[in-house]
Amino acid sequence: MDNKYKKPLRILLDSDSLKSDVAKRLLNYFDNELFEFVSLGSSKTHTVVQLSLSDKNDISGIVIDKLGDKLHGYKESTMFGYKISDIKIIAESLDIKYDDFILTFILKTLLGVSEDKKVILVTERKKLLSRLNWARNGFPELPAQSILSPEEAIIFIDLYCKNKNKFLIAPNYYVNRGLWYLYSLKTKVKNYQKVWSIIVYGQKHIPRGDDLMDITASLGDRIIDLLTAIDEIGINYYSGVNNDTQDATIYHFNYLITLFTGVFDSLAWISKYRYQIKFDQFERIGLRKDRQKDFMKLLYQENGKIKDFLSQNSSLINLTYSPRDLIIHRARLKALRFDNRNDNFYFNMIRVPQDFFNHIVALSKENGSKLGEWGHYKLDNEYFLEPYRFVKMAAEKLIIFVDEYLNLLGFDGYLKTMPVLSKKLKEGNSSDSHKDFLKQLEIFDKFKLGY
């Protein structure tokens, strides 16, 4: 993504294939100052491209007519320089339907006349999304990340906007950076808002209320910073493979690793204040069985359910402490360019220690012989990681963990023992400002595009 604002991102919609719920979320959006839509199929809501593609026609071309937009309208006509008969022969040789395959040549043509625009094709046709097909002879040569599934497209579009310092929560509805990530936190970790409200209204009544508020705010800050780091890694992922994106990626990844372990530390301290656990060895407060067993023994005495929960999630808890210790105490992780012709991928990758790799295998259930959803990859007894895939998958697991852990802490118990707190909370939840905030969260959850 070019940091300099030029012209809108052009999003080609393979409308006839877009049937999933994620696709429908994207189709709620319309042209704006940052991106525009062009439908390559039938559509009642987006500009439909006019195609005249035939070997027999004197004029074979593509017309995009947006003159209906009186402020920003235009009409663009582009010659289509390929023979339909040739495309049909290639499609048959690749075992791809012609009606599917022709879309790649339309994309190729529009890319050729849109040097000042990023152009992507959003489709749900599996053979067009196959990275292995992209490398086959006859498939048009296209820039990386030009053909996207709806799931990836909504992430890409969101990051494109954020890179322009624009934060969309719904069609033509912008907020500032802070609000976007606050909404993201509270729609992902749904129990956070309940816990936070109880602490805020009960601060003066709950033992160590001030400390509990500080550490709970710290938990929220760490998750927000983690979500921000994920997006920064994503922006560099989509910006291509070069020295600058490599350096930026490793910077944000090293920080994210420390945040990841910091979330567990915050949860441990919240637990200490929640149950008023008397334990003064601060360096031994945490959720790792092998390192903080004395603290955890006291925690289990207060809440036995947490013991089973932590045992079930030991692979997640142990996931990032190895690289964290390396980053904090010795050296930051190193990045490199990784070009794999067999599987057709070229990424900024990170060389990782074997024990970190093994933890990813244990959690993901992917052995790493191929580049999978988690991004880890083993080659000749060396271990590598595509960071953007990893951080998204790991964060998803972490967020589920945090949400359930906060629920297990049973903050509702304060409401039963403190009637004044229950009354204050009820009054606060019935206020107009709180209702407006909940409405904002509902809009965000329904329409936002990014992770």
Mean pLDDT for the stretch of residues 91-112: 94
- pLDDT tens by residue, 327-369: 887 877 888 888 887 777 888 999 999 999 999 999 999 998 9
Same domain, 160 and 192: no
Give the mean pLDDT of the chain: 91
Cβ partners under 8 Å of residue 18, min gap 6: 24, 26, 27, 122, 123, 124, 150
Q: Is residue 4 part of a domain?
A: no
Same domain, 111 and 191: no
Q: Is the pLDDT of residue 247 over 50?
A: yes
Q: How far is Cα 90 from Cα 97, in angstroms, rounded to an integer? A: 10
Q: Is residue 219 part of a domain?
A: yes
Cβ partners under 8 Å of residue 287, min gap 6: 264, 267, 268, 296, 310, 317
Q: Is the pLDDT of residue 2 over 50?
A: no
Q: Is residue 170 part of a domain?
A: no
Task: Give me the pLDDT at residue 59, please.
Answer: 58
Q: Is the pLDDT of residue 3 over 50?
A: no
Same domain, 135 and 227: no
Contact criterion met (CB below 8 Å) for 166 and 176: no
The candidate with the shortest Cα–Cα distance to 394, out of 257, 195, 239, is: 257
- pLDDT tens by residue, 195-234: 999 999 988 888 888 999 999 999 999 999 999 999 999 9
Same domain, 138 and 202: no
Same domain, 137 and 44: yes
Same domain, 275 and 159: no
- What is the span of the domain harbouring residue 237? 175-447
Q: Is the pLDDT of residue 6 over 50?
A: no
Q: Is residue 307 part of a domain?
A: yes
Mean pLDDT for the stretch of residues 269-298: 91
Task: Among 115, 141, 165, identify where a domain stops.
Answer: 165
Same domain, 310 and 222: yes
Most confident of 54-58, 336-340, 434-438: 434-438
Task: Give me the pLDDT at residue 305, please.
Answer: 95
Structure tokens at 265: 């530390």
Task: Give me the pLDDT at residue 130, please.
Answer: 92
The candidate with the shortest Cα–Cα distance to 350, out of 254, 234, 414, 437, is: 254
Task: Give me the pLDDT at residue 58, please.
Answer: 58
Task: Among 132, 165, 198, identify where a domain stops.
Answer: 165
Mean pLDDT for the stretch of residues 378-404: 95
Contact criterion met (CB below 8 Å) for 334 and 327: no
Task: Among 108, 135, 165, identify where a domain stops.
Answer: 165
Q: Is residue 2 part of a domain?
A: no
Burial 164-180 (b: 16+ CB within 10 A, else e): bebbbbbeeeebeeeeb
Q: Is the pLDDT of residue 241 over 50?
A: yes
Same domain, 122 and 179: no
Mean pLDDT for the stretch of residues 117-136: 93
Q: Of all residues in the chain, what percent carry a pLDDT higher than 90?
A: 70
Q: Is residue 398 part of a domain?
A: yes
Same domain, 205 and 150: no
Task: Give me the pLDDT at residue 57, please.
Answer: 62
Cβ partners under 8 Å of residue 31, min gap 6: 8, 37, 47, 66, 69, 72
Domain count, the chain: 2
Q: Is the pLDDT of residue 71 over 80?
A: no
Q: Is the pLDDT of residue 10 over 60?
A: yes
Q: How far is Cα 388 from Cα 245, in angstroms, rounded to an integer? A: 12
Same domain, 284 and 426: yes
Task: Give me the pLDDT at residue 290, please.
Answer: 82
Angle between helices 150-163 and 209-237 (to 10 degrees): 100
Q: Is residue 77 part of a domain?
A: yes
pTM (two decimals): 0.93
Same domain, 242 and 371: yes
Q: Is residue 31 part of a domain?
A: yes
Task: Give me the pLDDT at residue 7, please.
Answer: 63
- pLDDT tens by residue, 127-150: 999 989 998 999 999 988 899 999
Same domain, 234 and 160: no
- Residue ranges with strand state E in 81-219: 119-122, 147-148, 167-170, 173-175
Instruction: Provide the pLDDT confidence category of residue 4 given band limits of 50, 70 and 90.
Output: very low
- pLDDT tens by residue, 364-380: 999 989 888 999 999 88
Q: How far is Cα 319 from Cα 313, in angstroms, rounded to an integer? A: 10
Q: How far is Cα 264 from Cα 371, in angstroms, rounded to an integer? A: 28
